[in-house]
Amino acid sequence: MIFDLAEWLNLAVRWLHLITGIAWIGSSFYFIWLDSHLKPPLSGEASGELWAVHGGGFYHNQKYMVAPSRMPDDLHWFKWEAYWTWISGFSLLVLVYYIGARNFLIDPAKLALSVPGAIGIGLGFLALGWLVYDLLCRSPLKANNRLLGLVWFAFLLAAAMGLNTLFNARGAYLHVGAMIGTAMVANVFFVIIPNQRKVVAALVAGRTPDPALGQAAKQRSLHNNYMTLPVLFIMISPHYPMTYGADRPWLVLALIGLTGVAVRHVFNLRHRGAPTGAAMALAAVLALASITYVSFEKAGHVATTTGGAAHDRPTFAVIQPLIAAHCASCHAAHPTNPAFAVPPLGVVLDSYEHDRALAPRIQKVAVDAEIMPLGNPTGMTKAEREQLGRWIAQGTPR
């Protein structure tokens, strides 16, 4: 019996990340919705209230702008959902991108980094992201959420461009997502929960809580709400190489990330009963811009691979040694690459029939996106990729 500890551990941590992420995002979305639907109370000291029905029961929510005059006996804190989302996400970063740095993070064609050097750069960007964001939130910009958001976006865009010169595009994407996710959970750990504890402590001591504590926590919570969809996109981006495999992957990331922010804004406006037409139009334009850019770029690649001389029509006899040299170490029934006990995704490239059936996938990842082989340890050249593309474009002749 073969027991692949690394794969099962990867699955367990990824599943934990998904479960805790759903719990955290769900509570974030719910409380933003709840805040937008509160009505002035008919009586009492609450600042707003809401009646709702769900699952056959009726619920009565009340909000106190600072704190109630008397503390309840049982108070629920929303924090572990955020903490475990980050813990599991960082564990995945270590398992996949740091332990497997030579395959999933380092690109020798960009920079011949050592594994410790690449890990150090990655961790440095995570810390830098939080420091920059936190300083922005403590600067005069905190009075203007839109301007603060623009400056934070500009910093993330610069970080994405910088990371793309250091790491392979997939690793760069994941580190931008990790930077955003780290800022989000640090908001909870360093600001939101501590401020809430100070409010509770003041109330228990018989003092009037400082309203600024709640306002700062609320602002950070709102920021987290808008950063959620870009992070979710980055989480699934490894499955879509046309995004991080573009010639300018940071531009695709920026466009799709802004689309996520715009979509989130549409929901927030709807919750408040405000007009959503302009925000919906902006989201649609950004989404179309992403698709258009990637499509035009891909069309240029197709023109390159099909525009060779008429006699340059490689057959499988020409292509098979190329696949054997650059693909077979991973995509064989028994991989020789020590990083894989079984062929990744079950893809085996060991015969004409297999290679021909998988030609569209090979086109996407090896020719268009140029992300395979992982880390390009075999030194696959641009000319070889173009030759492979011509073979596929001409119908994969035997």
The count of C-alpha atoms lying within 13 angstroms of the C-alpha of 292, restricted to the half-sphere facing its C-beta, is 7
Cis peptide before 343 (omega within 30 of 0): no
Separation CA 57–CA 75 (nearest Å): 21
State the pLDDT at residue 251.
Answer: 96
State the pLDDT at residue 304.
Answer: 58
- Other beta carbons less than 10 A from residue 326's beta carbon: 23
State the pLDDT at residue 311.
Answer: 46
pLDDT in tens, 93-152: 999 999 999 888 998 888 989 999 999 999 999 999 999 999 999 999 999 999 999 999
The count of C-alpha atoms lying within 13 angstroms of the C-alpha of 300, restricted to the half-sphere facing its C-beta, is 8
pLDDT in tens, 324-342: 888 888 898 888 888 788 8
Lowest mean pLDDT among 87-101, 173-187, 193-207, 220-234: 193-207
Q: Which helix (H) or strand (E) holds 80?
A: helix 80-92
State the pLDDT at residue 177.
Answer: 97
pLDDT in tens, 232-275: 999 999 888 889 888 899 999 999 999 999 999 999 999 888 99
Question: Does residue 389 have a pLDDT over 90?
Answer: no
pLDDT in tens, 8-31: 898 999 999 999 999 999 999 999
- What distance lies between CA 135 and its chain's CA centroid? 23
Query: 3 falls in which pLDDT band (50, 70, 90)?
Result: low
**Between residues 301 and 292, the one the model is more confident about:** 292
**Does residue 214 contact residue 199 with C-beta atoms inside 8 Å?**
yes
* String of DSSP letters for 37-66: H-B--SSSS-SEEEEEEETTEEEEEEE-SS
Contacts of residue 86, defined as CB under 8 A and 6 or more positions apart, other chains included, come to 181, 182, 185
Query: 310 falls in which pLDDT band (50, 70, 90)?
Result: very low
Separation CA 328–CA 323 (nearest Å): 7
Separation CA 88–CA 344 (nearest Å): 22
Separation CA 91–CA 368 (nearest Å): 31
pTM of the predicted protein model: 0.85
Lowest mean pLDDT among 40-49, 135-144, 278-287, 301-310: 301-310
Query: 301 falls in which pLDDT band (50, 70, 90)?
Result: low
Task: Read off the tokens for 254.
Answer: 């920026």
Question: Does residue 383 have a pLDDT over 70?
Answer: yes
**Does residue 45 contact residue 69 with C-beta atoms inside 8 Å?**
yes
Q: How far is CA 218 from CA 62, 133, 151, 195, in A?
A: 16, 16, 20, 10
